[in-house]
Structure 1
Amino acid sequence: MEPIIGIIILVLLMIFGIPVAWSFAGVLAYFVWAYDTNTSTLLLQGFRGLNSVILLALPLFILAGYLMESGGIARRLINFMEASVRGKKSGLGAAMVMSSAVFGAISGTATAAVASIGTIMIDPLAARGYPRAYSSSLLGISSLLGILIPPSITLILFGVITRQSITALFAATIGPAIILIVGLIIYNQIASRKFIQKFEEEQLALGQDSSIEKTQAEIDGFVKSTLKAIPALMMPIVILGGIYGGFATPTEAASIAVFLSIFIGFFVYKNLTLKTLYQSLLSAGETTGTIILILLFSIMIGRIMVAESVPQDLTVFVTSLTDNKIAILLIVNAFLIFVGMIMDDVSVTVVIAPLFMSLMVSAGVDPIHFGSIVACSVVIGANSPPMAPILYMACKIGKASIHSAIAPALRLIFYVALPVMLIVTFVPQVSLFLPKLFGVY
């Protein structure tokens, strides 16, 4: 009963506007009182849980994301993606998806992708006839590619809290990410036909040519944008190549990402200044501080639940309802999506995921495979009402009302994100093939 009350307290505190970190502190306080826990021992366990070299990758990748935005790297990537699909009617929507994928391969966060890509691409999409509500919804879903494509802050947290290989988790979500990218591009190709056709008819009625065929100037522009984007495009190659080539650990790769972001921002694109560097350091410090506090409180909550055999009790309860593996996976999927609707991705990762780990292992689900399932559930939950934090942010940047964006967001979830999650859930090789191929699992 106490774990259920704890989840209710967490949700209520977040609904009332209490910062996420202090909402976790409230739950911890309740558990300490309910289970009469020794706080001295608990604090020691919490700090030991944070004493991890791999956890150093967290602030470094966060800093790299902010430096990419302020150093002009994000803009060059987006310009390259936009120029590469110019001449195709649904090309701008596909460019948004691909930009989110490449941006995620460096920054590892969804919020940075929403802010960087949304501010640059929403207005051009609107100028090509895309409704702002649809563009904001597409931005919200595609920005979550930053969680699936390594390096991922969410997967780092999952690995630390469940003591799984970060490198294996990084490799496990590449397959799901590729499927999601393809699904979003195909859906955009179909969904955009109607309003692009309407836009072209309106332009013809006004006597304006809406053709987007490539001209020589546009071809020259593509070549120019490609050359400018080469330093930015080299970053994911160097980072991921270093990790899977065995030349660098995730923490070392994060250090390389920061160094490259500073070097490219200062000396190649020359958009980074001492002032913007300071602002990036400040923003990264604030974000890291919040996540570390959440992680500290969640580790202590986890220690209490393990001591009280809560995961084992949950396993016994679910298996008493059914011992069918498919049914268990569907129950877990449904619960992860439901919790994701009212909690942010960090909360789901550091609290709910470890709670189900014992159940998943008893059902024969590989822990690395389970990491992919959790990551896919975050894509759905972060864009689903009532909380929908990523969708709200995308609507704010896209200048669209949240009410108008709910319908297109739900269609994207139902036709693309949910099928991807089910494929990942019931076809383990989608997640496990690359870790085994790279020899990291």
Structure 2
Amino acid sequence: MTGLLAVPLLVVLLAVGVPVAFSFALVTGFLAWIYDANLNTLMLQGYRSLDSVVLLALPLFIFTGYLMDRGGIARRIIEFVGRIATGRSGMGSVIVLSSAIFGAIAGTASAAVASMGTIMSRPMEERGYPRGYTAALLGVSSLLGILIPPSITMILFAVVTRQSVAACFAASILPAILLIAGLLVFNRVTVARNPDILPPPRDNAQSFGQVALSALPALSLPVIILGGIYGGFVTPTEAAAVAAVASILIGVFIYRELKLRNLAEALVRTAETTGSIILILLFSFLISRIMASERIPQDLSDAVQGIATSPIGAILLVNLVLVVAGALMDDVSCTVVVAPLFLPLMEASGVSPVQFASIVACSVVIGANSPPMAPILYMSCRVCRASVLDAVRPALLILLFVALPVMLVTSFWPDLSLALPRWLDLL
């Protein structure tokens, strides 16, 4: 069990500011040293694990997210949703629903925060929304892209646990719908208790039909992606390529906002993000190999089962560990390192690996907005020009009353995650 020291070591390295990829490299070196592992063999195994067509979807979906921001696609989605969401709580509802549509195209939270925060933060402040609340709602809503396919987190989970990507995508759809409903209700209740918040301003310059027609190319993207995957026409990787090409065509020829300079910037940022993720993934594969050879996951499962004597107790304990890990580590680290460790225990407790994918996704939503790390919440605060102290309280309330209940329902109601994969004949 000495190998479990790798987890707190990783947390300490991240906390002191060591870049994530280098933190993983140091942890790999630590494990190789204490277990006298053959690094030549490990690197060869790591290379073979990365030699996967599925992983090609990562840079393509990341690229799509940046293209949506630069090419005017995100703005038109927000304008369209803004015409549907009415009443005093309408502007908060725009953030939630736009995040859901954004997630159904790109699957990245950071791009959603950058796009919607830039567009929505000032108008929401003008209508009476506190900056801290706007940042908190945006931070949690942006992570709908983790649950709504295509999801980069689900791709990573499927790769490291050798599950079907399409099945993991389908498993998280109903939990995502439940989370959307919870966020809309929470926003409505919050707005009702704040008399200073005003309804969205009415813009009569364009009719609803004109706005809908303008947004139609953008709204067609999730239909193309999800319809192609579940209709059996394309694989998730091919769907990612189609999404990227469609985003370029829409941004250049229809909206005419995507310029060569924006395209180059999107490519550079995609390369930076993808390079970091691939390095993390490589070292996570090496860590998993070492731990598997030393039977650490089995020993961990035995230890947890000794503490939690029932399947319900084991599931609750794993939920707690995932939330704490998510609050200390970024979503990629939590998905590729912590989640596979507990997969054998969850299977022993009667939880399907595909259902566990949804549980992990829900834990990422909570962890990415929970201090001390809270990378998405902090990014949202920067974009919305809000104080972190002002955003922490509403964020914790949203997590406590919305995200955490969704995670528990997902954990103890298997059909919520498994109904769609079964219906689509993916299990």
Give the TM bin, normalised by the shorter chain: over 0.9
Corresponding residue number in structure 1 for 2:209: 223
1:137-286 to 2 correspondences below 5 Å: 137-195=136-194, 197-199=195-197, 217=204, 220-286=206-272
Corresponding residue number in structure 1 for 2:304: 318
Task: Give TM-score, length-normalised by structure 2.
Answer: 0.98
* Matched AA of 1:90: S
- 3-state SS, counterpart of residue 248 of structure 1: coil
**Structure 1 moving runs of 4+ over 6 Å:** none
Tell me the distance in 1 between the aligned counterparts of 2:7 and 2:307: 22
Correspondence 1:330 to 2:329: no
Deviation at residue 213 of structure 1 after TM alignment: 7.9
Correspondence 1:374 to 2:360: yes
* Matched AA of 1:439: D
Q: CA RMSD of the aligned region, Å?
A: 1.2
- 8 A contact 2:319–2:363 mirrored in 1: yes
- 8 A contact 1:2–1:31 mirrored in 2: no
User: Which of 299, 304, 327 in structure 1 is aligned with 2:285?
Assistant: 299
Corresponding residue number in structure 2 for 1:204: none
1:21-170 to 2 correspondences below 5 Å: 21-86=21-86, 88-170=87-169
* Matched AA of 2:141: S
Decide which structure has the larger Cα Rg and report it.
1
Q: Deviations over 1:171-211 (max 9, x none)?
A: 0000000000000001100101232x2356xxxxxxxxxx7
Deviation at residue 12 of structure 1 after TM alignment: 1.0
Tell me the distance in 2 between the aligned counterparts of 1:213 and 1:115: 23
- 3-state SS, counterpart of residue 130 of structure 1: coil
Tell me the distance in 1 between the aligned counterparts of 2:303 and 2:13: 27
* Matched AA of 2:290: I
Tell me the distance in 2 between the aligned counterparts of 1:157 and 1:170: 11
Corresponding residue number in structure 2 for 1:410: 396
Tell me the distance in 2 between the aligned counterparts of 1:113 and 1:189: 22
* Matched AA of 1:37: A
* Matched AA of 2:392: I
Tell me the distance in 1 between the aligned counterparts of 2:202 and 2:130: 24
CA gap 1:213/1:60 in 2 versus in 1, 3 angstroms: closer
Tell me the distance in 2 between the aligned counterparts of 1:4 and 1:354: 13
Corresponding residue number in structure 2 for 1:208: none
Q: Deviations over 1:204-228 (max 9, x none)?
A: xxxxxxx75857x26x443222111
Gaps of 5+ in 2: none
Tell me the distance in 1 between the aligned counterparts of 2:287 and 2:353: 20
- 3-state SS, counterpart of residue 107 of structure 1: coil
- 3-state SS, counterpart of residue 295 of structure 1: helix
Correspondence 1:15 to 2:1: no
- 8 A contact 1:155–1:166 mirrored in 2: yes
Deviation at residue 84 of structure 1 after TM alignment: 1.9
Q: Deviations over 1:276-332 (max 9, x none)?
A: 111111110110000000000000000000000001111111122233111000000
Tell me the distance in 2 between the aligned counterparts of 1:213 and 1:238: 32
Tell me the distance in 2 between the aligned counterparts of 1:67 and 1:53: 22
- 3-state SS, counterpart of residue 198 of structure 1: coil
User: Which of 374, 384, 387 in structure 2 is aligned with 1:398?
Assistant: 384
- 8 A contact 1:243–1:250 mirrored in 2: yes
CA gap 1:238/1:199 in 2 versus in 1, 3 angstroms: closer
Tell me the distance in 2 between the aligned counterparts of 1:36 and 1:212: 63
User: Which of 414, 423, 427 in structure 2 is aligned with 1:437?
Assistant: 423
CA gap 1:242/1:199 in 2 versus in 1, 3 angstroms: closer
Tell me the distance in 1 between the aligned counterparts of 2:376 and 2:162: 27
Deviation at residue 440 of structure 1 after TM alignment: 1.6
Deviation at residue 142 of structure 1 after TM alignment: 0.3
Q: Deviations over 1:25-59 (max 9, x none)?
A: 01001001010000010000100110111111111
Corresponding residue number in structure 1 for 2:413: 427
- 3-state SS, counterpart of residue 290 of structure 1: helix
- 8 A contact 1:140–1:390 mirrored in 2: yes
Deviation at residue 247 of structure 1 after TM alignment: 0.5
* Matched AA of 2:315: L
* Matched AA of 2:303: F
Corresponding residue number in structure 1 for 2:3: 3
Corresponding residue number in structure 2 for 1:383: 369
- 8 A contact 1:57–1:252 mirrored in 2: yes
* Matched AA of 1:352: V
- 8 A contact 2:108–2:145 mirrored in 1: yes
* Matched AA of 2:112: A
